[in-house]
Amino acid sequence: MASTHILSAYDEELKYLNRRISEMGGLAEQMCGDAVRALVNSDTALAQKIISDDVILDHAEREIQDKAIVTIAKRQPMAADLREIIGTLRIAADLERVGDLGKNTAKRVIAVQGTGVPRKLARGLEHLSELALVQLKDVLDVFASRSAEKAEIIRARDEEIDAMYTSLFRELLTYMMEDPRNITSCTHLLFCAKNIERIGDHATNIAETIYYIKTGAQLEGERPKDDTANTVGAPAE
């Protein structure tokens, strides 16, 4: 009976970690989607809410860290069980960083409020955001199913986000070269575009962690990349 009780308590601890990851993922996804909407619509009130919500994500990551440390100390898990907990810690860190990227984008809303975002550039940012957020949503679904095969597929899709980012990067450079008055606002938008592209990178990190949790192995080979913007000095936050 005692061993059954210990197993039941351990299962509850793992369920708690999984539930908190799902909650973090949902909030991070919402923050990033709202950040792009705030940017396109010059919605400073929404931007301020996103900045405030980042504290919730930070607190959730700390709770997961504390729970994971206590669980490891009490249960001394091995093999698959240990990978599960370590993987949860890694995913929580990626989701916290995704929230930071949404917050950083929201901070740019005030900076471009006076000039606004040209419609063509807004469409590019929205499309890039859609690709990155679909990637994030799908990888969170894979976390629930623990499918190593689907994790591999998501990792391979990162190339599409990189290609879209490179296209948008070049478009922003063109705007700046055509009219120096665009330089300040387009520089802010370059940072925003890079923030969005990085969401896809963190989703890929999560996919690799899920694969590790499930198989105990690391995905082989370099990630597919189609991001040539970095060769010409793309910004990073």
By mean pLDDT, which of 4-13, 15-24, 199-208, 226-235 is the weakest? Answer: 226-235
In a domain, 3, yes or no: no
Write down the pLDDT at residue 237. 60
Percentage helix, strand, coil for the chain under 3-state DSSP, each rounded to 5:
85, 0, 15
115 burial (CB, 10 Å; 0-12 / 13-18 / 19+) is: middle
Mind listing the pLDDT tens digit for each residue in 134-179?
A: 999 999 999 999 999 999 999 999 999 999 999 999 999 999 999 9
pLDDT tens digits along 206-225? 999 999 999 999 887 666 66
Using one digit for the tens of pLDDT, what is the confidence trace for 111-127? Answer: 888 777 888 899 999 99
pTM value is 0.89
For the domain that residue 15 is a member of, what is the CATH number? 1.20.58.220
Name which residue leads in pLDDT, 73 or 230: 73
Count up the domains in the chain and report the number.
1
- Full residue range of the structural domain in which residue 165 is found: 8-225
What pLDDT is recorded for position 111? 84
Amino acid letter, residue 156 = A
What is the number of H-type helices and E-type strands within the chain?
7, 0
Cα separation, 16 vs 127, whole angstroms: 34
Cβ atoms within 10 Å, residue 69: 12
Question: What does the radius of gyration of the chain's CA atoms come to, in whole angstroms?
Answer: 20
